């Protein structure tokens, strides 16, 4: 799986990179229908003013349902924001895959024959 990782307004440290890669590995291992690409953006919510809130925005392209799932997390601790974003991404991916399965099943079912009124 390809991971596009970028940090905005602050340097990307090795510790942050490892935290994102660990969460990405957990996320990737959870699904049989493997996500094809993952984009992670780490940012300071207050921009150049450098407030206490940090954020993580994650998007994943899931192969079989050809949809993109996006999730974010904001916290004063960037590591918690990363974890929150990946938890939400996992939940969203599960929902997208389940929705896709339901749609495939309903499309595969033959329509019920109409019965003639007696």
CATH number at residue 97: 3.30.160.100
Does any domain span residue 52?
Answer: yes
- What is the predicted pLDDT for the residue at 31? 81
Does any domain span residue 116?
Answer: no
- What is the predicted pLDDT for the residue at 115? 62
Does any domain span residue 99?
Answer: yes
Please give the average per-residue pLDDT across 25-40, as a whole number: 84
Q: Is 14 helix (H, G, I), strand (E, B) or coil?
A: helix
Does any domain span residue 112?
Answer: no
Contacts with 116 (C-beta within 8 Å, 6 or more apart), sequence order: none
- Please work out, in degrees rounded to the nearest 5, the angle formed at the alpha carbon of residue 9 by the alpha carbons of 3 and 47: 120
Does any domain span residue 114?
Answer: no
Q: What are phi and psi of 23, to 5 degrees?
A: -65, -40
Q: Please give the tally of structural domains in the chain.
A: 1
pTM value is 0.81
* Average pLDDT over the chain, rounded to an integer: 85
Does any domain span residue 7?
Answer: yes
Does any domain span residue 34?
Answer: yes
Give pLDDT tens digits for 99-112: 877 776 666 656 55
Give pLDDT tens digits for 35-71: 778 999 999 988 767 667 999 999 998 866 678 999 9
Does any domain span residue 29?
Answer: yes
User: Domain residues for 12?
Assistant: 2-107
């Amino acid at each position: 799986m390809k991971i596009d990782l970028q940090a905005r307004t602050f340097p990307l440290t090795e510790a942050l990179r490892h935290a994102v890669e660990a969460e990405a590995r957990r996320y990737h291992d959870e699904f049989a229908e493997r996500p094809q690409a993952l984009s992670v953006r780490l940012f300071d919510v207050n921009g150049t003013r450098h407030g206490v809130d940090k954020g993580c925005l994650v998007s994943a392209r899931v192969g079989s349902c050809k949809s993109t799932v996006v999730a974010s997390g904001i916290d004063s601790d960037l590591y918690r924001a990363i974890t929150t974003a990946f938890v939400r991404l996992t939940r969203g991916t599960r929902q997208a895959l389940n929705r896709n399965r339901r749609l495939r099943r309903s499309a595969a079912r033959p329509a019920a024959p109409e019965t003639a009124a007696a």
